[in-house]
A and B are shown apart, each in its own frame.
Chain A
Amino acid sequence: MILVGELSLWVALLMAAWTTTVSFSGGLQGRPDLVKSGERALYATFGFTLLASIGLWTALFLHDFSIKFVASYTSSNLPKIYTFTAFWAGQSGSMLFWALILTTYSAIAVFTNRKSNRAMMPYVTGTLGIICLFFLMTMCFGANPYERLDWIPPEGRGMNPQLQNPGMAIHPPMLYLGLVGTAIPFAFAIGALVTRKLDTQWLGAVRRWALLSWFFLTIGIILGMWWAYVELGWAGYWAWDAVENSSFLPWLTITAFLHSIMIQEKRGMLRKWNVTLVAMSFLLTILGTFITRSGIIESVHAFAQSPVGDWFLWFLIVAAVSTAYLVSTRLNDLQANAELESMVSREAAFLYNNLVLVGICFATLWGVLFPILSEWVKGDKITVGPPFFNAVNGPLGLLLLALTGIGPLIAWRRASTSNLKRQFTWPVIAGVATFAVLFAMGMRQMYALVSYLLAGFVFGTIIQEFVKGIGARRRMYGEGLFGASMRLIGRNRRRYGGYIVHFGVAILFCAFAGLMFKKDLTATLKAGESVKAKDAYGSEWVFTSQGISSFEQLNRRVVAASFNVTRDGQSMGILSSEKRQHVNAAGEPTFEPSTEVGILESPKQDVYLVFTGAVDRETAAIHINFNPLVWWVWFGGIIMAFGGLIVMWPQAVRAEREGGYVAELPSESAMTLVGAGA
């Protein structure tokens, strides 16, 4: 099977090359036989990539240490689940995983669209073929997962203990599912550009894929934050590291696209912009991969120093130049058929939303690339840290939060004063009330206060929308509260799913603002000794050391420090933090000791305890953090993903599909139906 897998990789390469060649020539010459052949070759590319992947998994599970990849990332005593996830623990394996997702997506996208967008499809297939070809080439000639060692080591090196975490097992696949998803809209954009079929038709297929990509990216990013938080022991979840940023950048452009696409559907505006956003999302994905694989940017993540980085740079340049060429030669076809009528309209709100999202994207990219730019210009490598990103993205983020509330409430075309009054009175009161209550309770940090004011406003808008919609259904159809809510969401998934996503976003902002009230302290405690601390809410905490214990567990030796925790005299249970020394099958230590933090989680705040070292056999040195509202980051993330799921869920009645993609929907009729309060 391993040999089959190795060979399959090469066959897949040939298939991808064939896909590209015949699809493009078939499209240009208008020969359906060639087009058909290209399509089949793409399915075959998928089949062989799948075989290659199964081959690598087989090698991992059979512990074939003659393969460098297997020897580098696994050992024979690694738990089964991590043997499975070792597939993407290293450079070449993760490339294969990437290719596997890409070919799967490509095959599905081509299969489901082969009949609908006929003129465009050869170019879509061809573009996907090129991308597959690129990844397979990179593997075959740059980073082959099947590379052999010239000797067979008796045991593998094992997996880094920090990667042996359930979050880390799911985080990379989610991220890849999201990042790779940008390739499909990109291919459709290229297809639409080449054939000049730039009306709203191509958007139908693209929106679903963009949404899927957004959905997985959101989950992937949040899981990454969670992993960093529970595993790395620095009590934070986001450091504006180059690797984090490179997944954040395409997320921003996809989010912008999912909003601006609505303006094109409803008003036929923003065609150039939408094509650009789709292309940018893909290009930023490739750029991010280049950054993370080439080692060109300094990051906490140890990057692979390999020629693969250069491959990505060249691919990026070729893709960017050809996209720019296609767009510039088709500007006339991309002309808008409507103009912005008023500043006080949903179009304007959405345009600002796009502007801010792209602004954040640009500022973040600037910060990431600053060391390279400064080295070119001044000859010195100059880096910027989190303060830069916070200073720029903080205010922009708050502006975005405000728009999150304004956008959905304001009328299309031109909002009247009465529309504004009707829609905004209660949400504004909600926001101001939130501010007033917090201020009265003694909160003085302006940043946090503004965040909560805006979040209160957004919550107000969303609740108002639901109340109005549910109320209208109950009056019109006499439905119960539950039935009305379910049907309201079910009949307008895009709209109410979107609100749920916004709800999650506002929760996230609240959680971010909570970090302004972080507190921490360090202590060194003998068994029986205790330390007192006050949290941001004014409660008094006492941590009493239970001493240090040592034991063996699975593939590791553990030294644990435990503490009895009380809050205002009430027992909160026991909190332990561990130092783990992982061992191989022979009981010899592998890797450096890792720390397992102790977290006492609650919606109010996390008490985050790190065992930093044992001074002697019964004295533990610890670092305690009080992190307010961190729980809400995970909760907000789940809400966002859930909202995304609702938006994506296929409508039971496919009216949309049958009439082609509903393009210039008369906006008012749709509004009155659901708005009902209007």
Chain B
Amino acid sequence: MKARNKFLLGGVLVLGTAGYLMASSIDETATYYLTPGELASKVSDNPRFVNTGVKVGARVVSGTIVRDPSGRSLTFKMTDGAKTYNVQYRGIAPDTFTDGVDVVVEGRLDANGTFQATTLLAKCASRYENAPEKYKDTPGYKPGTSATPRA
């Protein structure tokens, strides 16, 4: 066999393995990324959807955060304007987690319709600019709040 062909064969082998790893691990780690409104409609279409682990991107409703003093669990409400969920999170919240920020929570709905979150990400510091249009109707949203000084 010519060296070139041998190389190509090896290349196919490497890329094939990589492709296989990609395909197999995507199934294991893929998670739906939904807004609360989308989650609600998924659940009403198919009640068994509650068993699916999902990521939800939403905004924290101001004034609803109740923190455990140890800093290890907390509850809050999140919304996208269309639907609001209660969230219970066990774990340490990042410093950026506060009233009105955008969060991404991962977990699932329990029987009471509370979202049990196992991870909580709050959008962090690297850029602060205007909030997206879709959050315009969110309670507590003020246009341009992040761009104008608080004082």
* Total number of A residues with any Cβ neighbor in B under 8 Å: 80
**Which of these binds chain B: A77-85, A190-198, A384-392, A447-455?**
A384-392
Residues of A contacting B129 in the complex (Cβ-Cβ under 8 angstroms): 90-91, 302-306
A384 adjacent to B125 (CB under 8 Å): no
A612 adjacent to B71 (CB under 8 Å): yes
Residues of B contacting A370 in the complex (Cβ-Cβ under 8 angstroms): 26, 30
Does A540 count as interface, using CB distance less than 8 angstroms?
A: no
Across the two chains, which residue of chain B brings its CB closest to A172? Answer: B126
B61 to chain A, nearest CB (A): 16
Residues of B contacting A381 in the complex (Cβ-Cβ under 8 angstroms): 32-34
Bound complex: CA A387 to CA B68 (Å)? 30
Does B151 count as interface, using CB distance less than 8 angstroms?
A: yes
**Which of these binds chain A: B10-18, B79-87, B108-116?**
B10-18
Does A120 count as interface, using CB distance less than 8 angstroms?
A: no
Q: Given that A157-B149, A342-B3 are known contacts, is A592 also in contact with B96, CB under 8 Å in the complex? A: yes
Residues of A contacting B151 in the complex (Cβ-Cβ under 8 angstroms): 153-155, 157, 584, 586, 588
Does B62 count as interface, using CB distance less than 8 angstroms?
A: no
Q: Given that A163-B125, A522-B72 are known contacts, is A592 also in contact with B98, CB under 8 Å in the complex? A: yes
Residues of B contacting A302 in the complex (Cβ-Cβ under 8 angstroms): 102, 123-129
Bound complex: CA A67 to CA B33 (Å)? 37
Does A653 count as interface, using CB distance less than 8 angstroms?
A: no
Bound complex: CA A300 to CA B25 (Å)? 22
Bound complex: CA A364 to CA B8 (Å)? 23
Q: Given that A65-B149, A371-B33, A592-B95 are known contacts, is A384 also in contact with B26, CB under 8 Å in the complex? A: yes
Bound complex: CA A366 to CA B23 (Å)? 11
Q: Contact mask A289-311 → B, CB, 8 Å, 1/0?
A: 00000010011111111100000
Residue from the list A300, A345, A356 in contact with B121, Cβ < 8 A: A300
A621 adjacent to B70 (CB under 8 Å): yes
Does A68 count as interface, using CB distance less than 8 angstroms?
A: yes
Q: Given that A300-B124, A302-B128 are known contacts, is A594 also in contact with B95, CB under 8 Å in the complex? A: yes
Bound complex: CA A588 to CA B150 (Å)? 10
Residue from the list A383, A616, A621 in contact with B33, Cβ < 8 A: A383
Residues of B contacting A163 in the complex (Cβ-Cβ under 8 angstroms): 125-126
B31 adjacent to A382 (CB under 8 Å): yes
**Which of these binds chain B: A347-355, A497-505, A641-649, A665-673?**
A347-355
Centre residue among A233, A371, A388 by max chain B CB count within 10 A: A388
Residues of B contacting A103 in the complex (Cβ-Cβ under 8 angstroms): none
Residue from the list A73, A160, A342, A615 in contact with B70, Cβ < 8 A: A615
Centre residue among A73, A385, A386, A590 by max chain B CB count within 10 A: A385
A160 adjacent to B125 (CB under 8 Å): yes
Across the two chains, which residue of chain A brings its CB closest to B68? Answer: A613
Residue from the list B3, B71, B104, B127 in contact with A348, Cβ < 8 A: B3
A548 to chain B, nearest CB (A): 12
Across the two chains, which residue of chain B brings its CB closest to A399? Answer: B14
B18 adjacent to A363 (CB under 8 Å): yes
Does A478 count as interface, using CB distance less than 8 angstroms?
A: no
Q: Given that A301-B123, A359-B15 are known contacts, is A384 also in contact with B131, CB under 8 Å in the complex? A: no
Residues of B contacting A363 in the complex (Cβ-Cβ under 8 angstroms): 18, 21-22
Does A320 count as interface, using CB distance less than 8 angstroms?
A: no
Q: Contact mask A366-403 → B, CB, 8 Å, 1/0?
A: 10001100100000111111111001100110010000
Bound complex: CA A139 to CA B24 (Å)? 43
Bound complex: CA A157 to CA B131 (Å)? 16
A616 to chain B, nearest CB (A): 7
Q: Given that A232-B124, A295-B132 are known contacts, is A343 also in contact with B6, CB under 8 Å in the complex? A: yes
Residues of B contacting A65 in the complex (Cβ-Cβ under 8 angstroms): 149
Q: Contact mask B73-104 → A, CB, 8 Å, 1/0?
A: 00000000000000000001011111000101
Across the two chains, which residue of chain B brings its CB closest to A586? Answer: B151
A391 adjacent to B21 (CB under 8 Å): yes
A383 adjacent to B30 (CB under 8 Å): yes
A sample of 21 cross-chain residue pairs with beta-carbon separation below 8 angstroms, ordered by A number, consists of A72-B128, A72-B146, A153-B151, A156-B149, A233-B94, A298-B55, A298-B57, A302-B102, A303-B127, A304-B129, A340-B7, A343-B6, A359-B14, A382-B31, A382-B33, A387-B25, A391-B21, A396-B18, A594-B95, A614-B69, A615-B69
Interface residues of A (CB under 8 A from B): 65, 68, 71-73, 90-91, 149, 153-157, 160, 162-163, 232-234, 243, 295, 298-306, 339-343, 345, 348, 351-352, 355-356, 359, 362-363, 366, 370-371, 374, 380-388, 391-392, 395-396, 399, 522, 524, 584, 586, 588, 590, 592-595, 610, 612-616, 621, 623
7 new A-B pairs (CB below 8 Å) besides A342-B3, A343-B7, A355-B11? A72-B147, A162-B124, A302-B126, A341-B3, A359-B14, A392-B18, A392-B21
